[in-house]
Amino acid sequence: MTERVGQIDEVCRRLETMYVFPDVAGQLAKLLRARVADGAYDGLDDEELAAVVTEDLQSVNGDKHLRLRYHLEPVHDGGDGSFDIEAYRAEAELSGYGIARVERLPGNVGYLDTRWLPFSEVSGPAISAAMSLLAPTDALVIDVRQNDGGQSATSALISSYLFDEAKHLNDVYFREGDRTQQFWTSQYVPGRKFGGTKPVWALIGPDTFSGGEDLSYSLQQSKRAKTVGEPTRGGANPRRQYKIATHLDVTVSHARAINPVSGGNWEGCGVQPDIAVPAAEAFTTAYQLALEQVLTLGDSGARRPVADEARLALSEF
């Protein structure tokens, strides 16, 4: 029992010192301590405790980034929110740096399926290679339906290939230091840009979260892409993780996103689709729209085989 009290006290300490909404942090700490006093966590193993405390953490304001997590392997001891960069790099490499698929589809339509947005210092070369491959396509479909997180800087890097000039995409306010960091596209990037005029569609759904929402929301609000699919999960508060026990860590939202266009973000409500269809049909819908756009570009000279591909692909819908 004493061990559990100490663990919950450490969760409360991290909330009170780091959570981006101090008033909510106070409410949560009071709730967790009351739950300890009531014996709500007695007799639970680590995995069960993680599930119950997570439910309690999310009960006040629904912040899905607030979690007590159970890990099968021992948690890295990063009391200041740090982590093992080499382990992170290995994970990113084995996941294809978050890129599940990059392809030129029939009809010269580009397709990028990204599941994670690792730090740009790690994923940058892979993103540059993918975006350079897609640069000559006539339209682009970015699939974040299964993207559940990542970094705002990496979202900005991908977006940089889709604008011709510097564009203010997002701000992140940090409680620590009472500071705000702006995220802009870069005018100059490694490789070749897709550019700022050709059409882009972003596929979204209920499994899209955090970094995937950052990318789709920023492109939507800047009028650079149309979102297609279903509303996303709604997690706009960047988080850090802190070790609580050998197999437990707590993730605490230490910042919040502020979009320069909307003045808000997607927390709780999710990114809303411009074109609402079931998530499973989002690719087909966007690809069809892209092919129709390709056919407006002509069908003579070098464009003839592209137009033929587009017509054949459309005929298969």
Judged against a pLDDT cut of 90, whether residue 126 lies above it is answered with: yes
- Greatest Cα-to-Cα distance within the chain, rounded to the nearest angstrom: 78
Name the residue with higher pLDDT: 233 or 78.
233
Rounded mean pLDDT, 119-145: 97
Judged against a pLDDT cut of 90, whether residue 81 lies above it is answered with: no
Judged against a pLDDT cut of 80, whether residue 77 lies above it is answered with: no
Looking at residue 76, its pLDDT comes to 74
Nearest CA to 233 among 206, 258, 255, 260? 206
**Average pLDDT of the chain?**
95
Calpha distance 222→76 (Å, rounded): 38
**Percentage of the chain exceeding pLDDT 90:** 93
Judged against a pLDDT cut of 70, whether residue 83 lies above it is answered with: no
What is the residue type of 138? D
Looking at residue 209, its pLDDT comes to 96
Rounded mean pLDDT, 212-219: 98
Name the pLDDT band for 87 (thresholds 50, 70, 90): confident
Judged against a pLDDT cut of 60, whether residue 110 lies above it is answered with: yes
Looking at residue 78, its pLDDT comes to 53
Name the pLDDT band for 263 (thresholds 50, 70, 90): very high
Q: Give me the CATH topology for the region 95-235+270-315.
A: 2-enoyl-CoA Hydratase; Chain A, domain 1 (3.90.226)
What is the residue type of 61? N
Question: Where are the domains positioned within the chain?
Answer: 2-70, 95-235+270-315
DSSP single-letter state for residue 273: P
Strand 255-258's sheet: what is its strand order? Answer: 179-184, 168-174, 255-258
Calpha distance 6→294 (Å, rounded): 62
What is the residue type of 32? L
Strand 248-253's sheet: what is its strand order? Answer: 67-70, 248-253, 239-245
